[in-house]
Amino acid sequence: MEPATYDAPMPKRWFRLAALFLPAAVVVVLLAPFADVDPVDGFTFSNSPFTDEAWWLANARNFAHFGYWSTDDWNLHLVSPVYSVLQAAALAIGDVDMLSARLMVVGTVSVTCLVLAFGLRGPFGARPAILAATAYGSSVLVLYYGRLAYVEPVVALALVTGSLFVARVDDRRPWLWGLLGGGFLALAIGAKPTAIPLVAGLLGGLLLVEGRQSSWARRWTLGAGAVIIATAVAWALLVLLPQREAVSVVGRILAEVTLPADAGELLYRVLAYPVSNDLALIYSIPLLLGGGAGVVLAWRQRESLPAPTRRLLVVAASWVLVGIVVLMVIPYRPNRYFLPLLPALAVLTAAALSLWPARAGGLPSRRSMSRVGLLVAGTALTLPGLLLHAGWMWNGTRQLLPLQQQVAEALPPGAVVEGAYGPLWAFRAPVTAIVSRPDSMVNGGDLYATRGVRWIVTQPQAVPAWAAQHPAKWSARRTVLCHRWGREELCLFNVP
């Protein structure tokens, strides 16, 4: 028995097809015109919106300017090659500026909506698929991070694309669809290693739940796992072994993930998550409610669901479950870490929208109720994000791009810039930009002597670690310009 859907006959085939592009088009309209708007402070406890864009883009920026990835110890491209290559391509096609990098991510979010709309149409029907894709594109976390140069939207796209291959109807070549799905799941890991537990969770859930009675699921998982393992081996041979020291330095750059020391600490972290999740759960309420309804309805009607649909729902539920468990256990959990779970919640929301009429079969006017239900559900799923986004853009500032141009004009060719905000401020300039973290042994030592640092972006009263070795030079520094960025007052200094 096929799941009931909201689909009613549409007047023309082309109109039905064009409607599937609507969520992607909405995302472009909502985000692209505002890609130059500065991040809004207060959305997260983390200072990430004012630093992470440039940090994850640093190596792609190097490649765009110089033709090589690395200039120092900052080598995030080694663990994020997929994102770095995509952004290097975006910077090569456009200008080497933050606008080009952000538009690449906007395009990623738009494509994710397109993948959801087309991929969910078969299992759940066109209208639930369109509404679920729109709900993803207009969710609060996506509207905030999806117009900035963040890695998480790229992870989300690769995860959902790979997962949708599990819903193929073809019973003869599950290993082929597993290879294709596994390829995209490997790309998710290659965009950011935080995708590893999500990929392991969705594959494990499929194998444990469906694999016990379905050889198709077992063979699909085998094909996907083979691609992921082969990719991991290739990365180890081409990156890890030849550049072991550089990769270990990257490990010191990334946020430290520590496991609980004992059962008491584990219990504390789990119990604290509902109130210390950086409002990720509140921002995601529409999709959490839709996804929860999808799980309940799918469980009640599991015997009547086609096998491909059931597999997809198992994968989505496992993906969300493992993601939330991980967030409960790790100590650092900013709300952006929740964004890669949203496509799975969109899949479950589509299931809720598709299966709900089957629960309301006795109502007098089913077509009328379905349209009213669509209107109510669409409003509930999209309105919170749209209202917040409108407020952010109405009050938003556009200071970063002019500031980057001003800094680029101030820096001479061949300059070497140091500072946590150095790669951001100097993004447009073809100069070396170094983030120094001497406490973590990342770009430490006497950078004035060893790296030729003569330009520093830092707080007015801050002193670089090497200043004690060159006090006269530091005392003779010249203030080039000062500007407030995010939560900091920053200045560009020139040292003779």
Sign of the CA dihedral with 39 first, then 42, 44, and 48 last: positive
In a domain, 426, yes or no: yes
% of residues, the chain, pLDDT over 90: 83
Sequence-ordered list of residues with C-beta below 8 angstroms from that of 22, at least 6 positions apart, any chain: 117, 130, 134
Taking all residues of the chain, what is their mean pLDDT, rounded to a whole number? 92
In a domain, 141, yes or no: yes
The yes-or-no verdict on residue 365 having pLDDT over 70 is: no
What pLDDT does residue 11 have?
Answer: 56
Label the pairing between strands 416-418 and 455-458: parallel
Domain boundary among 394, 425, 460: 394
What pLDDT does residue 353 have?
Answer: 92
Domain boundary among 335, 364, 394: 394
What pLDDT does residue 376 have?
Answer: 85
Please tell me whether residues 106 and 230 are part of one structural domain. Answer: yes
Tell me the residue type at 375: L
| Mean local confidence (pLDDT), 15-35 | 93
- Reading the block at residue 171, the tokens are 């019973």
**Residue with tokens 């491909």, as numbered in its chain:** 308
Q: Lowest-pLDDT range, 4-13, 130-139, 180-189, 390-399?
A: 4-13
Domain boundary among 360, 378, 394: 394
The yes-or-no verdict on residue 447 having pLDDT over 50 is: yes
The residue segments making up the domain with residue 453 are 400-494
In a domain, 191, yes or no: yes
> Cα separations (Å) of 169 from 2, 24, 319?
13, 26, 21
The yes-or-no verdict on residue 368 having pLDDT over 80 is: no
Cβ neighbour number for residue 104 with a 10 Å cutoff: 24
Please tell me whether residues 129 and 269 are part of one structural domain. Answer: yes
List, edge to edge, every strand of the sheet that includes 416-418.
432-434, 416-418, 455-458, 488-494, 478-485
Please tell me whether residues 377 and 484 are part of one structural domain. Answer: no
What's the predicted TM-score (pTM) here?
0.93
| Mean local confidence (pLDDT), 77-90 | 97
pLDDT digits (tens, 9 = 90+) for 208-236: 999 888 899 999 999 999 999 999 999 99
Sequence-ordered list of residues with C-beta below 8 angstroms from that of 354, at least 6 positions apart, any chain: 3, 4, 5, 6, 123, 124, 125, 128
In a domain, 8, yes or no: no
pLDDT digits (tens, 9 = 90+) for 271-296: 999 999 999 999 999 999 999 999 99
| Mean local confidence (pLDDT), 264-277 | 93
Specify the 3-state DSSP secondary structure of 126.
helix
What pLDDT does residue 258 have?
Answer: 82
Q: CA 388, CA 456: separation in Å to the nearest integer?
A: 36
The yes-or-no verdict on residue 364 having pLDDT over 70 is: no
> Cα separations (Å) of 488 from 47, 179, 485?
10, 47, 6
pLDDT digits (tens, 9 = 90+) for 298-349: 999 988 899 999 999 999 999 999 999 999 999 999 999 999 999 999 999 9
In a domain, 449, yes or no: yes
Please tell me whether residues 223 and 197 are part of one structural domain. Answer: yes
Please tell me whether residues 375 and 445 are part of one structural domain. Answer: no
Please tell me whether residues 453 and 382 are part of one structural domain. Answer: no
Please tell me whether residues 274 and 413 are part of one structural domain. Answer: no
Q: Of 474, 467, 409, 404, whose CA–CA distance to 438 is shortest?
A: 467
In a domain, 6, yes or no: no
Q: CA 90, CA 101: separation in Å to the nearest integer?
A: 6
Sign of the CA dihedral with 482 first, then 485, 489, and 490 last: negative
The continuous run of DSSP H or E covering 480 comes out as strand 478-485
Q: What are the counts of helices (DSSP H) followed by strands (DSSP E) for the chain? A: 22, 5
Structural domain total, the chain: 2
192 HSE (CA, 13 A, CB side): 21
Please tell me whether residues 40 and 139 are part of one structural domain. Answer: yes
In a domain, 284, yes or no: yes
In a domain, 485, yes or no: yes
% of residues, the chain, pLDDT over 70: 95
C-beta of residue 411 within 8 angstroms of C-beta of residue 429: yes
The continuous run of DSSP H or E covering 218 comes out as helix 215-235
Sequence-ordered list of residues with C-beta below 8 angstroms from that of 142, at least 6 positions apart, any chain: 109, 136, 153, 339, 342, 385
Supply the DSSP symbol for 442: B
Task: Give alpha helix (H) positions in 427-483.
Answer: 447-450, 471-475
